[in-house]
């Protein structure tokens, strides 16, 4: 192998190892969520009066996308679900880019506006935006 080939190989190995190191860095969801943001949906449900009409960003996993009833569901660390209605035209238009490449089980930073809790104590909210959490790990 020539000297130029060895240099290219070393550069490729260095870049691959740097990318792998970035993927395994400690997550910094606290910085993304802001000061005092809840880590779980049960925290919002427990203090609904202080979160009512507030816009919250949380790290959640995508559970399902229901194209028939036009709903999207996410869940938190303790497997508490939150389901959003995406049937309105404005919502579909706003989330069109995100919906093209979504994957169940992947982490997302979900921004939503808290409305209330239902009779069973689940949080009801309006979806504002969601983006893959992995994008924050890429330089």
3-state SS assignment for residue 18: helix
Q: Locate 93 and state its tokens.
A: 């238009």
Question: CA 124, CA 28: separation in Å to the nearest integer?
Answer: 26
> Measured between alpha carbons, how far apart are the two ends of the chain, in Å?
32
Contact 103, 21 (CB under 8 A): no
Between vectors from CA 101 to CA 98 and to CA 105, what angle results, nearest 5°?
A: 100
Question: What pLDDT is attached to residue 72?
Answer: 94
pLDDT score, position 131 = 92
Over its C-alpha atoms, the chain yields an Rg (Å, rounded) of 19
Residue with tokens 């409305």: 115
pLDDT given for residue 31 in this prediction: 36
Instruction: Give the bridge partners for 65, in sequence order.
Output: 72
Distance separating alpha carbons of residues 122 and 39, to the nearest angstrom = 15
pLDDT recorded at residue 9 = 60
Q: What is residue 40's predicted lDDT score, i.e. its pLDDT?
A: 87
Each of the 139 residues of the chain gets a pLDDT tens digit; together they read 666 656 666 655 555 555 454 444 444 333 344 446 677 888 888 888 888 889 999 999 999 999 899 999 999 999 999 999 999 999 999 999 989 889 999 999 999 999 988 888 888 899 999 999 988 887 7
- Please report the pLDDT score of residue 6 as a whole number: 62
Looking at residue 71, what is its pLDDT? Answer: 94
Q: Is-above-0.85 flag for pTM?
A: no
């Amino acid at each position: 192998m020539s000297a130029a080939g060895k240099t290219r190989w070393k550069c490729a190995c260095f870049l691959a190892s740097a990318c792998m190191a970035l993927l395994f860095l400690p997550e910094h969801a606290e910085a993304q969520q802001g000061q005092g943001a809840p880590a779980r949906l049960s925290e919002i449900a427990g203090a609904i009066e202080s979160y009512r009409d507030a816009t919250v960003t949380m790290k959640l996993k995508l559970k399902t996308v229901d194209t028939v009833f036009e709903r999207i569901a996410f869940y938190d660390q303790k497997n508490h679900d939150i389901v959003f209605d995406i049937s309105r035209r404005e919502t579909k238009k706003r989330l069109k880019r995100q919906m093209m490449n979504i994957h169940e089980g992947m982490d997302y930073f979900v921004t939503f506006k808290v409305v209330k809790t239902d009779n069973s104590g689940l949080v009801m909210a309006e979806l504002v935006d969601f983006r893959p959490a992995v994008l924050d790990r890429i330089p």
